[in-house]
Amino acid sequence: MTIGSDLEVVDMDVVLDLRGLDALIRVLAQDGRVVVGPVLRDDAITLAELGSADDLPGGWGVETGPGHYRVRRREDEAVFGHSAGPQSWKRFLHPPRRALLSSDGTGFHAAPESPVSYAFFGVRPCDLAAITKLRQVVGGPAPFVVAAQCTEPGEVCFCSSMGCGPGAGSGYDIALTERVDGDGHRFLATSGTEEGAAVLTRVPSRPAARHDVELADRDVAAAAGRMGRSMPEVDLRDLLAANRDSAHWEAVAERCLTCGNCTMVCPTCFCVSVEDRTDLDGNAERAQRWASCFEIDFSYLHGGAVRTSGASRYRQWMTHKLGTWHDQFGTSGCVGCGRCIAWCPAGIDITEEAAALARTGGGRP
């Protein structure tokens, strides 16, 4: 499989209807991929294997806010008319638990690699950026990516101020832009790789007219102006480096539950802890599981944890996300998907906290 990156841009836009969309899912599955996309489940739009376009959450939208998420009926039957949900593609690229190796005491054996090859269906631009950032750290085989450009940002979204949306940047094989209007329910499809182009030739479509492309561009451009939030326009890396000793961390700590929800829902948070397991026959297994810098033992050194206060743990998370990620990986760790805002039970808002730091200036020297 080719890597879903900006290898070669093949300009061959087409328009699919729902039937075409369904065919696209089936073609991807026929080629042996597990197609994962949004579904309505447990009062939320989560990610699960798709069998057909019927599995998509047609007609469902969401209402989000700090510490708040509700699904709601839409007026149209749009399938991608919802912003980021409780799950991200991280679950598939970097599963919550993964076996690493086994040991019998004299030999060590790598755990088998997962044979699954994924097609991610309906990846929002923020998440597309997140996939790139995450894979930069954890590696692994590239998924086939069908992006869905964002025409409907939510209340907690701020991808445009992170430079990660609402248009799909690089990294997709196919990008879709959905539109429901008097002319029907349709998807403008653009291929980003040769493989994407080849797949598109196998589904029923009509060539895209200039009008289709213009409408899509307009919808996406309009979305940029409808983000519920934005990051302050300062150099975040400098801001956080300068605010290591800010009194503001204590103020956040009063509200922060140190529950770790923000890190778990974040599509780029990659930290893991290693667990050792032994059975009664003397065999041992090592596995990794999602960890969170909010866990008290996360920073454990012999004798005790380094970061015990809530303030230091919140500072670690936010500083890493927006600041030191640049030092470590040359880019921001945040894509502006807004999940940490919506799924923080306390509704702590990373953009608000950044703004508060920016207001107080550089903090104490």
Partner 1 sequence: MTSWVPTPCRVVERTVETHDCVTLTLRPVTGSLPAFRPGQFAMLYAHGVGEIPISVSGIPADGTLVHTVRAVGAVSRALHDAAPGTVIGVRGPFGTAWRLDGVEDLLVVAGGIGLAPLRPVLGHPSRRTVLVAGARTPEDLLYAGDLLALSDVDVVLTVDRGGHDWHGRVGFVTEPLASIPLDPERTTALLCGPEPMMRFCARTLLGRGVPAGNIQVSLERSMQCGIGLCGHCQLGPLLVCRDGPVTGYPEAEPLLLAKEL
Partner 2 sequence: MPTIAVWKFTSCDGCQLTLLDCEDELLPLADQVHIAHFLEVTGASEPGPYDISIVEGSVTTPEEAERIRWIREQSAMLVVVGACATSGGVQALRNFADVDEFRSIVYASPEHISALDTSTPISAHVAVDHELRGCPIDRGQLLEVITALLAGRAPDLPDTSVCTDCKRRGLTCVMVSRGTPCLGPVTHAGCGALCPAVDRGCYGCFGPMTRPNAPALVPLLKRTGMSDDELELVFRTFNANAEWT
Ligand X SMILES: Cc1cc2nc3c(=O)[nH]c(=O)nc-3n(C[C@H](O)[C@H](O)[C@H](O)COP(=O)(O)OP(=O)(O)OC[C@H]3O[C@@H](n4cnc5c(N)ncnc54)[C@H](O)[C@@H]3O)c2cc1C
DSSP reduced 3-state for 268: coil
Q: Least Å distance between CB 107 and partner 1? A: 6
Using CB under 6 A as the binding rule, whether residue 276 contacts ligand X is answered as no
Using CB under 6 A as the binding rule, whether residue 260 contacts ligand SF4 is answered as yes
What element of type H or E holds 186?
strand 184-191
Name the pairing type of β-strands 108-110 and 118-123. Answer: unpaired
Using CB under 8 A as the binding rule, whether residue 286 contacts partner 1 is answered as yes
Return the residues of window 267-296 that contact partner 2 according to CB under 8 A.
273, 275-280, 284, 289-290, 292, 294-296
d(Cα 212, Cα 193) in Å, to the nearest integer? 21
How close are the terminal C-alpha atoms of the chain, in Å?
Answer: 51
CB atoms within 10 A of CB 290: 19
The C-alpha angle with vertex 140 and arms to 138 and 144, in degrees rounded to 5, equals 120
Question: 171, 310, 323, 333: which one contacts partner 2 (CB under 8 A)?
Answer: 310
Return the residues of window 315-354 that contact ligand SF4 according to CB under 6 A.
344-346, 348
Q: Which residue has the tokens 């992006």?
A: 147
Question: 24, 27, 28, 44: which one contacts partner 2 (CB under 8 A)?
Answer: 44
Name the pairing type of β-strands 144-148 and 174-181. Answer: parallel
d(Cα 81, Cα 295) in Å, to the nearest integer? 35
Query: Nearest residue by C-beta to ligand X?
Result: 302
Q: Least Å distance between CB 9 and ligand X? A: 45
Using CB under 8 A as the binding rule, whether residue 316 contacts partner 1 is answered as yes
Using CB under 6 A as the binding rule, whether residue 108 contacts ligand X is answered as no
CB atoms within 10 A of CB 139: 10
Do 126 and 159 form a contact (C-beta atoms < 8 A)?
A: yes
- Is 30 buried (19+), middle (13-18) or exposed (0-12) by CB count in 10 A? exposed
Show the beta-strand stretches assigned E in 182-302. Answer: 184-191, 206-207, 272-278, 284-290, 300-301
d(Cα 83, Cα 337) in Å, to the nearest integer? 8
Using CB under 6 A as the binding rule, whether residue 357 contacts ligand SF4 is answered as no
d(Cα 73, Cα 351) in Å, to the nearest integer? 28
Query: Tokens representing 341?
Result: 């805002």
286 binds, among ligand X, partner 1, partner 2, none (CB under 5 to 8 A by kind): partner 1
d(Cα 115, Cα 141) in Å, to the nearest integer? 10
282 binds, among partner 1, ligand X, ligand SF4, none (CB under 5 to 8 A by kind): partner 1
Q: How many residues interact with partner 2 (rule CB under 8 A)?
A: 47
Per-residue string for binding with ligand X, 279-318, x by CB under 6 A?
A: ---------------------xxx----------------
Using CB under 6 A as the binding rule, whether residue 86 contacts ligand SF4 is answered as no
Q: Least Å distance between CB 229 and ligand SF4? A: 15
Question: 284, 346, 355, 356: which one contacts partner 1 (CB under 8 A)?
Answer: 284
C-alpha 344 chain-centroid distance: 16
Question: 257, 271, 355, 358: which one contacts partner 2 (CB under 8 A)?
Answer: 257
Name the pairing type of β-strands 304-305 and 300-301. Answer: antiparallel
Q: Least Å distance between CB 253 and partner 1? A: 11
d(Cα 172, Cα 91) in Å, to the nearest integer? 18
Binding residues vs ligand X (CB under 6 A): 300-302
Residues forming the site for partner 1 (CB under 8 A): 100-101, 103, 105-111, 113, 137-138, 241, 244-245, 270-274, 276, 278, 282, 284, 286, 288, 291, 293, 298-302, 306-309, 311-312, 316, 319-320, 323-324, 327-328
Q: Which residues bind ligand SF4 (CB under 6 A)?
A: 256-262, 294, 344-346, 348
Binding residues for partner 2 (CB under 8 A): 41-44, 46, 67-71, 86-87, 91, 96-97, 253-261, 264-265, 273, 275-280, 284, 289-290, 292, 294-297, 308, 310, 342-343, 345-346
